Structure 1
Amino acid sequence: MTDQAVDISGPVKASGAEDPSGGAAPRFFGRERELKALREDIERAGLDTLAGRKSPRARVLLIAGRPGSGRSALAEELAAALTGADVAEAAAGAAGALPWTARGTGSGDYPDGVLRAGLTDPGGERVPTERTAGEILGLLGLAVPPGADGDELSEMVREALAVRRVVLLLDDAADAEQVDPLLPENPHCLVVATATGPLTGIPDVRPCTLGGLEAGAATRSLARTIGQVRVTVDPRTAQALAEECGGQPAALALVGGLLAAHPRTSVADVAGQLRGLPDAGDQQPTGARPLARAFRLVHDSLPTAAARILRLLALAPAGLADAHTASALAGCSVSAARSTLDDFVRLGLVRTDGAAHPQYAVRGCLAPMLRDLLEDRERPAEIQLARARMLERTVRRLQSCRAVTEPEDAGARRKLAGLPRSLRFPDAEEAGVWLRQRQPALLASARLAVADGELDTLARRLVAALVRALAAHRGTEAAAPELYGLHGLVLDVALRRELPREQAAALLNLGDLDARTGRTRAALTRYRAALDAGRAAKDLYATGRAMESVGGAYEELGDYHRAADWYGRALSQRLTQGEREDEARLYGRLGAVHTYAGRYGEALRNWRAAAAGHRRLGGPAAQARALSEAARVQEYAGRPHESLQTCREAVELARRAGDVRLQAALQLRLADTLDRLGDPAAAGLHRIAADRLLGEESPAYEIRSASTES
């Protein structure tokens, strides 16, 4: 494709598109009866009420209908009406761009607004419960524990919603098993679900089933897009065209967009073309044929290059594309891709969120047809090449996103200057905005790349770049839930490709996140597997790190004997490699676990060895901390005079290091020891010295038995 934009555009509205009365066209019409029935259903007494029981859960409303029937738009309209949610924000949610939360006006039964989540991916796959629950928690501003399973996260959702009055909109549910775990145990909340059929298994749910719009409403919908004049001059043909579309809002939007883009084309011509299209086959349900024919008519009217871009959008992760995604897929310039995507918006093929970095969401009802067309019209090799181009572009954008956070003189910034201008970000703030907006699509891209199995090298690069970008912009703590999933993807590829070094790295990262969230036994399993992988790769760093981590897990579990054994193994390896900093740290960890276990002789030897190691490394502050712990052990062992002398050595080292807070902490340690030795006067002098060092408002920190070097 050339760098020129594909010219399929015409006026967005034909002449006379404005409402003759001068008033704005209504945003939502044609479903007033269904909307009224849904609102009445909220007030209807449920089975529990009729039985004299208090309802234990939220009321569930189901809007059922085929994709393209307007079920999501009706759900959004109902939610907005109940909460006073912003109409534009609701429209962005309906576009499928991002999950959203909208605050109401503070009045009504649901003052805490609307929470929305999609339950089916554009590819047709069910969204796992843990991902949906994590999205809802994120919308509520609650931290998501990394690695938590669906049961834990859905329980957190129920707890969070137990104290709120919200409308929970669950779009495109495959079955009741997706909805049931998320139902709030709070009768003051409302769940609005959309699905193709009934949600068997959820009690007291009466579906509001949608068919086509009535003839008058369907014609008005068409007039809103193409202008009242073109309908008025030939009302019978306009009504016939609406009937050919089956009254389906999505089909009407497509033919309306086609007519608006070609103002010289008559309504009769489009109606005749639509009527003349053959059905796709007997396998297609009758109710799905109007939308399929309307889509095929619009697709076939596009120039060749634009039609190919449209088909390739089936590869867009999470159904979300930006100009760079479309550019990479089609092999055209970014400006040409952006222009073509804007044309698709006018044709009703995609929707856009209008953000600073606009994203274009493929309509969910069109996604299956796009996939079928892609497989039918494009060779598998071309599809794989397009996917590879998209992944490579994404990797470069992520590298640019991370590099812009580096100092000006860093190597990454120098490499950034060599990238094309379109791939660069002006500053870190702009890059962070892009990363936040594109995060759902980026995570979906990583999952799809790994699942593909044929582009593992690119998949590994993509995951690595995404991990670095998230850590740079959000920090490892804030991004831990996403990082956990990404490390799991790395592990999948490493296992598939038999890459033991990468297996070890992924297992260590996953183990660290498990340990940080209190899943110590799960972390222990990860660390042991990492040790095996490190040994298979003959990676000394990975094996040493794994042995130390196994020891840390046993220490956390209170098994100090095993912890000391594994720390000792890690120390033996470090001693053979001459890694003095690691040696000193491991001596300290051994000293800590021996102290906990009451083996004071072993503890004292290891703390003194740690102090000697830090002395050789030239770290007087670390040496002082190790000697302070040695003094603590001496005191536990009933040797207070030796403890006093060791603590004085530590004070002198802290003074030489210029660590005022450490000096103050050690002065307090000396005071406590002198009190126990029966010398309160000297103890008081040391407390005065500590107060003088820090001032009355800045208490000294406590030196704990657990090694601060671990």
Structure 2
Amino acid sequence: MTDQAVAAAVGRRFFGRQRELKALHADIERTGLDTLTGRKAPRARVLLVAGKPGSGRTALAEELADGLADRYPGGVFRARLTEPGGDPVPTARVAQELLAALGVAEPPGAGEDELTELVRHALAGRRAVLILDDAVDAEQADPLIPDDPATLVVGVSRGPLTGIPDVRPCTLGGLDPKSAIELLTAFTGSVRITVDPQAAETLVEECGGMPGAVVLAGGWLAARPKASVADLAKQLRGLSGDPLTRTFLLAHEALPATAARILRFLSLAPLGRADAHTASALAGCSVSAADTTLADFAALGLVFAGDDGQYEVPGHLVPLLRAQLEERDRPAEVQLARARMLERTVRLLQSCRAVTEPEGSPARRKLAGLPRALRFPNRAAGADWLRSRQPVLLASARLAVADGELDTLARRLIASFVRALAAHRGAEAAAPELYGLHQLVLDVAERRGLHRERAAALLNLADLDARTGRTKDALLRYRLALDAGRAANDPYATGRAMESVGGSYQELGDWQRAGDWYGRALAQRLARDERADQARLYGRLGAVQTYAGRYGEALRNWRAAAAGYRRLADLPGHARALSEAARVQEYAGRPEESLRTCEEAVEWARRAQDTRLQAALQLRLADTLDRLGDPAAAGLHRAAAERLLETRATACEIRSGFEKD
């Protein structure tokens, strides 16, 4: 069996902890305080696995969840509440990850309370297991606990989560000697253990029975078939520190200098996850060399291998690796490694987006010039990569912005990420992720005093706020974008912000302010002779004046819009503006004029060959004729509209048939 196969087999097995598993199962059946008082349990039952990092606490939670699959058919959902470096993950981000796993769409820009409420609602009534891994405190975990006893929550923490009622922690120490030796044997084979069982017991004792330390010791022995178990135990005894630190230092010192440097640099990888590209960029080596090194690390128990080409550094090793990185590597080298990693990510994102472009396009020609390792063979491969790497890419963007010294690379990374998401998923589907990315751009722009970028980020965020019904939030951001656009002397941002401010007031029903802001935006467009924008703004002014009952002003603006569209040779736009003018005339009590204007609009729609618009206008014309007391003529127009729609439907069916052929 190869080293990689040994590591994979070990990863699938669970060693010891039978007493703890039995206690946890008994705790599930234990009567809670609410039941004793005669009240129905208002919340999910919470179990807690407490122990030091490296004690196998997460593995125990996973083993428990696997054993409960029949009782909880709703599935197992996992969330990590602490970053690999030890910083707590914001609860809102944890909720976003859980919603994605639950298949629940999140509103872009939703706050923490709304997101956690969505999580609790999605889990309500579902007999599922929720693993909250590495929780820092009760305040972090409590908002995620469902208000329904059907769900079982398994918390993993260093110690008690004081504040969550009716929870007894299952505290982990080291593995019992028999189980620890079984774990060690999975790496070394049985021969070296059976020839010196006393040395094996001494070794696992030096490891404190900590699974994390035993795995590193087993990996060290597996890489050295001629080394004895007693030799390793003697070397560990000569080092100072806790068992995990001692075994890690021994494993690190035993690596070749180049491999040790790559291992240290893996602590810079977002979420502690790295594929061959990430390791290659961090270390400045080839992708194939990085791939081989990562596989070797997996065999040594230094990283976990995933099914999608990604490797994860165990959370209990990240602080140790970062301490070695700080001690052995110069800050300039570390910063250069970060920059290389971000640059490689940017190039992969650009390649991921380019594969969606048509053959022969400039983007595809540029893609063909990239090294083979950076190219995706087809759109599906690019989409799969983007989907599997999305959490890491989001973390990369956050880390790049937080760094503060790589803002140019951070902006390029975010811009490439936004384009790739829009190309593969569409702006609407990717809105929650885009909201967070635009917020990161805003952070960089405010830090660097980049007014143009600040205006663009504020406009994008405000658009998403407006789309999700947070009109007042959108209005505030549009006003801030206007200030930023003026500071940048950016006419596009300024005009767009003024028009959007008007749109927000229109949504709020404040017709007077909406008209005022549309008027300001129109004045700017007139000064710059931007005719398409002028026509649109005349129409928006006409709409709010119609709502306000100022029919004379509304009619003048709709006629100005119609004239603008006609000068632009936009026949459908001209017809629509005329139809709105006819609507205003009808509201103003001038049905004969409305009839003539509507007939004119129908004629322009016919010239534009817009069948749907022509049919809609003929139906409006029929309604006007009914009100004028001419039902016969109204019937003729309705029949004509029906024929137009039938003709259009038939044409679509024929076209679809040809496409299938």
* TM-score, scaled to structure 2: 0.96
Matched residues in 1 for 2:357 and 2:122: separation?
Answer: 38
Aligned to 1:128: 90
SS at match of 1:695: helix
Look up the match of 1:234: 196
User: Is the Cα–Cα contact under 8 Å of residues 56 and 212 in structure 2 kept in the other structure?
Assistant: yes
Q: Structure 1 CA distance, aligned partners of 2:460 and 2:201? A: 62
Query: d(CA) in 1 for partners of 2:443 and 2:229?
Result: 54
User: Would you say 1:571 and 2:522 are equivalent positions?
Assistant: yes
Contact 2:4 2:296 in 1 (8 A): no
> Is contact 1:49–1:55 with CA below 8 Å preserved after alignment?
yes
| 1:182 correspondence with 2:135 | no
Partner of 1:59: 45
Q: How many Å separate the matches in 2 of 1:72 and 1:377?
A: 31
**1:690-709 → structure 2 map (5 Å cutoff):** 690-695=641-646
CA contact (8 A) 2:15 2:180 kept: no
Match of residue 394 from structure 2: 443
The partner residue of 1:322 within 256, 275, 284 is: 275
- Check whether the contact 1:18–1:227 (CA below 8 A) recurs between aligned residues: no
Mapped to 1, the partners of 2:359 and 2:217 lie a distance apart of: 52
User: 1:409 offset after TM fit, Å?
Assistant: 2.5
- Given the alignment, which residue of 149, 165, 175 partners 1:213? 175
State whether residues 110 and 166 of structure 1, in contact with CA within 8 Å, keep that contact through their aligned partners in structure 2: yes
* 1:435-460 Cα shifts (integer Å, max 9, x gaps): 11111111101100100101111111
Secondary structure in 1 aligned to 2:132? Answer: strand
SS at match of 2:68: helix
> Structure 1 residues 361, 605: closer, same or farther in 2, change over 3 A?
same
Q: Report what 2:36 is aligned to.
A: 50
SS class of match (2:133): strand
Q: Deviations over 1:687-707 (max 9, x none)?
A: 1111111139979xxxxxxxx
Alignment match, 1:102: none
SS in 1 for 2:513: helix
CA shift, 1:682, in A, is 0.9
Aligned to 1:296: 249
Task: Give me the whole-angstrom Cα distance separating, in 2, the residues matched to 1:123 and 1:589.
Answer: 52
> Within 2, Cα distance between the matches of 1:11 and 1:569?
71
Does the C-alpha gap of structure 1 residues 241 and 204 become closer, same or farther in structure 2, counting only changes over 3 Å?
same
What's the secondary structure of 2:46's corresponding residue? strand
Alpha carbons of 1:47 and 1:696: their partners in 2 closer, same or farther (altered >3 Å)?
A: farther
In structure 2, what is the equivalent of residue 369 of structure 1?
320
| Letter aligned with residue 594 of structure 2 | S
2:447 to 496, 499, 502: 496
Q: 1:194 aligns with which of 143, 156, 159?
A: 156
CA contact (8 A) 2:125 2:151 kept: no
In the alignment, what sits opposite 2:343?
Answer: 392
| Structure 1 CA distance for aligned equivalents of residues 329 and 106 of structure 2 | 41
Q: In terms of mean alpha carbon deviation, does 401-410 or 670-679 score higher?
A: 401-410
- Is 1:69 paired with 2:20? no
1:430 corresponds to: 381
Residue type of the partner of 2:233?
A
Give the letter for the 1:235 counterpart. P
The correspondence for 1:353, drawn from 306, 310, 315, is 306
Shift of 1:569: 0.4
Provide the C-alpha distance between the structure 2 equivalents of 1:18 and 1:145, rounded to a whole number of angstroms: 39
1:622-701 to structure 2, matched below 5 A, reads 622-695=573-646
Of 224, 236, 242, the residue aligned with 2:186 is 224
- 2:111 and 2:190 mapped to 1: Cα distance? 53
User: Which amino acid in structure 2 is aligned with residue 206 of structure 1?
Assistant: R
What residue number does 2:206 align with?
244
Counterpart CA distance in 1 for 2:461 and 2:2 is: 53
Counterpart position of 1:540: 491
**Aligned with 1:455 (options 391, 403, 406):** 406
Amino acid at match of 2:542: G
Note if 1:591 corresponds to 2:518.
Answer: no
2:125–2:150: 8 Å Cα contact kept in structure 1?
no
* Greater fraction helix: 2
Which of 102, 111, 118 in structure 2 is aligned with 1:149?
111
Offset at residue 271 of structure 1 (A)? 1.2
1:269 Cα shift?
1.3
User: 1:697, 1:647 → 2: CA distance?
Assistant: 22
State the partner residue of 1:80.
66
Report the Cα distance in structure 2 between the residues aligned to 1:695 and 1:335, rounded to whole angstroms.
61
Q: Distance in 2 between matches of 1:620 and 1:338?
A: 59
Q: Note the C-alpha offset of 1:164.
A: 1.5
TM-score where L is the length of structure 1: 0.90
Partners of 1:115 and 1:228 lie apart in 2 by 37
Sort the Cα spacing of 1:42 and 1:11 in 2 relative to 1 into closer, same or farther, 3 A: closer
Distance, in Å, in 1 between the alignment partners of 2:181 and 2:150 is: 39
* DSSP-derived class of the 1:246 partner: coil
1:340-362 deviations in whole A, cap 9, x for unaligned?
0000000001011122xx00100
Cross-structure match for 2:653: none
* Amino-acid identity (%): 72
CA shift in 2, pair 1:12/1:679, >3 Å? closer
Instruction: From the superposition, tell whether residues 667 and 164 of structure 1 become closer, same or farther in structure 2 (CA, over 3 Å).
Output: same
Q: CA deviation at 1:26?
A: 8.6
Gaps of at least 5 residues in structure 1 are 1-8, 84-107, 280-288, 700-710
Give the conservation status (yes or no) of the 8 Å contact 2:581–2:597: yes
User: Aligned partners of 2:547, 2:17: CA distance in 1, in Å?
Assistant: 70
Looking at structure 1, the residues matched to 12 and 454 of structure 2 have their Cα atoms a distance apart, in angstroms, of 57
Maintained 8 Å contact 1:12/1:261: no
Structure 1 residue aligned with 2:462: 511
Q: Would the alpha carbon gap of residues 640 and 11 (structure 1) be closer, same or farther in structure 2, given more than 3 Å must change?
A: closer
Deviations 1:287-328 (A, max 9, x none): xx1011011110000000000000001100111111011101
CA–CA distance in structure 2, aligned partners of residues 352 and 482 of structure 1? 27
Q: Which residue of 2 aligns with 1:92?
A: none
Task: Give the CA deviation at 1:278.
Answer: 2.5
Q: In the alignment, residue 514 of structure 2 is paired with which amino acid?
A: A
- CA offset at residue 29 of structure 1? 2.7
Q: 5 Å matches for 1:149-168?
A: 149-168=111-130
Structure 2 letter corresponding to 1:228: S
| Preserved CA contact (<8 Å) 1:11 1:263 | no
- Is the 1:18–1:228 Cα contact (8 Å) retained in structure 2? no
How many Å separate the matches in 2 of 1:384 and 1:27? 39
Question: Quick one: which amino acid aligns to residue 43 of structure 1?
Answer: E
Q: Which has the higher contact order (CA 8 A, sep 6+)?
A: 1
Q: Distance in 1 between matches of 2:2 and 2:354?
A: 41
Deviation, 1:632, is 0.6
Deviation of the 1:276 alpha carbon: 1.2
Partners in 1 of 2:11 and 2:273 — Cα distance? 29
Paired residues of 2:475 and 2:501 also in contact (CA < 8 A): yes
Match of 1:313 in 2: 266
- Give 1:339's aligned amino acid: T
- One-letter code of the match for 2:401? V
Partner in structure 2 of residue 112 of structure 1 = 74
**Structure 1 residues 503-534: Cα deviation after superposition (integer angstroms, max 9, x where no partner):** 00000000000001111000001000000000
How many residues align? The count is 650
RMSD: 1.8
Which of 28, 36, 44 aligns to 2:14? It is 28
